[in-house]
Structure 1
């Protein structure tokens, strides 16, 4: 609502080429409204191109050069003025003339000679409507802003909660590195590459990729249930210890499933997180664990995570080994194509290998940092 700061009056623009008509209308409305006047359609558009927008326009139809119909067409085609209500003032009283004006976007039609009570009532009604619309629009803008703010806050809290949960798997070691961040970025990058492939574009929407990146850090959450003597063992695990170590996949999926059940609303990222925690050690040829899934039995989230997890394990220093060179890592990853990894996804990874080494370089572990048993 445009309010004059001095008198708090709504603004009405009167457009009429007849000075007498303009004077009559202006004098009638001036006690209640701030009045702007324009003796032609062209001048009206110049006024409307200024900073001050009226709350209502009283527009004469029959004017030389540019009639009222042409003026309102300009108004409705301009985003800045399209919502300003227009009342036509005219000596014409045919139904067709009235219909034409309303079709072009006028909100009302007042015939000349002007009857003061009728004009005042029509103007008051439209100004009040405009005021109500403006209040509603401002409320909607405010609500949209608040909703966006709350969603951002919720997203931030959710992200912090995910990282806190993921860290549970690593807090028992003082030097854990940036494995979680890197694997999340690997998964996101590989998903974005595959999104361009028609075979995967429907599976990997922008929304799914965001959720995958959020869920990836929870892949090893089940390690909270693995004893320290196994998790932090510097040497190779025995067969019995390896059996226990492999239970972290089931433990992680079970913990997330419990979180799902406790949640009052369905959270998409938890579904993906549960899949990733459960099956991120499955292999393309069925030789993985815990369920021996193979080929397309393995969800795409796990196929992506498998590559991200193994790549990071190879290039990173562990308590039981030094990190491999990128050349050696590329060789090992290529050898895993078709047995450990989905061949198509492996090809996408290998063809864009530099993108993943850049992530590894950018987010290197701090000096002395090393990961636990993987």
Structure 2
């Protein structure tokens, strides 16, 4: 098993010699004679523990600890303060700064060894626990994502033979979201939420969904209800993913000029994610074969989207989508419908 590394920080060589002598048989020992050097070492190599003198010239131990705990690179390193004597107020100050323990001078070697061993064992235990929690959280998130994708596909199968529409348009939303300046993490959440945009179709009759022709007024009014049905299915907020999925389900048929449904929102009153999904959804719907129509050419679909920029679609998003056409077409080719 690889030895763990301990940084000993003290301005007195004798103290360093004693601590290093007590610990060197079990651990790799690094040495710093002042606070500035301690911070430099902590930020440059992997450390498992820091033994930190409080009273030092320049930056004292309290300030070193404060800076360590503010730095994402070093905040996880446990710190044990080393001091000759300390008041209750100073001890509280150290603990509030994030210190894990104290060792007092003069040193008692068995006490030093025991406290170091205990702190490292606790750190290892916490690290393993954190890994397990992270793994379980990732597993839960992946299971939730799988359910969302399958529910989105289930809705799409009602009026699309392959269900590939939800996959393509979700990737289109990712491309457009990044082009619109949304960060990668949020763009990925949107991509994973987008397949739920038409989940409300589960509540619409097959006679309407699969009608091989134009819907009558009453039929279209019934079809429009899928937005609110979808929002109801997705329920109240319980995660960022589900919140965005609900928002998209409810708003992807709103139009920039206010003529959309279900709430007649206009302009930037329509959530950005809904505006992004609207473009991705319409482009894929136009360029895909449906029971009631043949697939449009890419050129014709883009021409319509350009014409309706400022009426149906966000006029700032349309050119961004067109600029990314190469990526869009690669996605379209990769996830094409089966014959």
Q: Confirm or deny a common fold (TM above 0.5).
A: yes
- Provide the C-alpha distance between the structure 1 equivalents of 2:2 and 2:334, rounded to a whole number of angstroms: 53
3-state secondary structure, aligned to 1:324 = coil
Residue in structure 1 matching 2:278, options 306, 329, 334? 306
Query: How big is the alpha-carbon RMSD for the aligned residues of Structure 1 and Structure 2?
Result: 3.9
Pairwise mapping of residues 302-341 of structure 1 onto structure 2 (< 5 A)?
A: 302-341=274-313
Contact 1:183 1:216 in 2 (8 A): yes
1:150 aligns to 2:140 (yes or no): no
Which residue matches 2:123? 137
1:236 aligns with 2:214: yes
Q: Write out aligned runs for 1:146-295 (5 A).
A: 146-172=132-158, 175-195=161-181, 204-256=182-234, 259-260=235-236, 266-295=238-267
Instruction: Give the superposition deviation at 1:206.
Output: 3.9
Note if contact 2:82-2:105 (Cα within 8 Å) is conserved in structure 1: no
Structure 2 counterpart SS, 1:107: strand
Q: Structure 1 residue 356: deviation in Å?
A: 1.3
Is the contact made by 2:177 and 2:276 (CA closer than 8 Å) also made in structure 1? yes
Q: Deviations over 1:111-167 (max 9, x none)?
A: xxxxxxx99961112111110111121012112211210121011011011112213
- 1:298-321 residue CA offsets vs partner (Å, 9 max, x unmatched): 111111011011000111111122
Q: Secondary structure at the match of 1:308?
A: helix
Maintained 8 Å contact 2:189/2:241: yes
Q: Quote the residue 2:14 is aligned against.
A: none
Distance verdict in 2 for CA 1:231–1:69, change over 3 Å: closer
Task: Number of aligned residue pairs: give it.
Answer: 292
Q: TM-score, normalised by structure 2?
A: 0.72
Q: Distance in 2 between matches of 1:340 and 1:192?
A: 21
CA displacement 1:187-226 (0-9 Å, x = unmatched): 111010111xxxxxxxx34443232122111110111111
TM-score when normalising by structure 1: 0.66
- The change in CA–CA distance for 1:132 and 1:177 in structure 2 (over 3 A counts) is same
What SS does the aligned partner of 2:268 have?
helix
Shift of 1:326: 1.6
Hey, what's the Cα distance between the residues in 2 that align with 1:299 and 1:120? 65
- Deviation at 1:271? 2.1
Q: Which runs of 5+ in 1 are unaligned?
A: 4-21, 37-50, 58-67, 88-97, 110-117, 196-203, 368-374
Offset of 1:172 from its aligned partner? 3.9
Q: Tell whether the 8 Å contact from 2:158 to 2:209 is kept in structure 1 after alignment.
A: no
CA distance in 2, matches of 1:286, 1:86: 64
Q: Of the two, which has the highest radius of gyration?
A: 1
CA distance in 2 between partners of 1:288 and 1:315 (Å): 21
Q: Distance in 2 between the 1:84 and 1:334 partners?
A: 62
Please state if 1:107 is matched with 2:87.
Answer: no
Gaps of 5+ in 2: 4-16, 65-80, 85-103
Local SS of the residue matching 2:180: helix
Within the candidate set 89, 111, 114, 1:128 is matched to 114
Contact 1:85–1:126 under 8 Å retained in 2: no
Q: CA deviation at 1:85?
A: 4.4
Give the drift of 1:352: 2.0
Equivalent residue number for residue 334 of structure 2: 362
Report if the CA contact (8 A) 2:288-2:295 is conserved.
yes
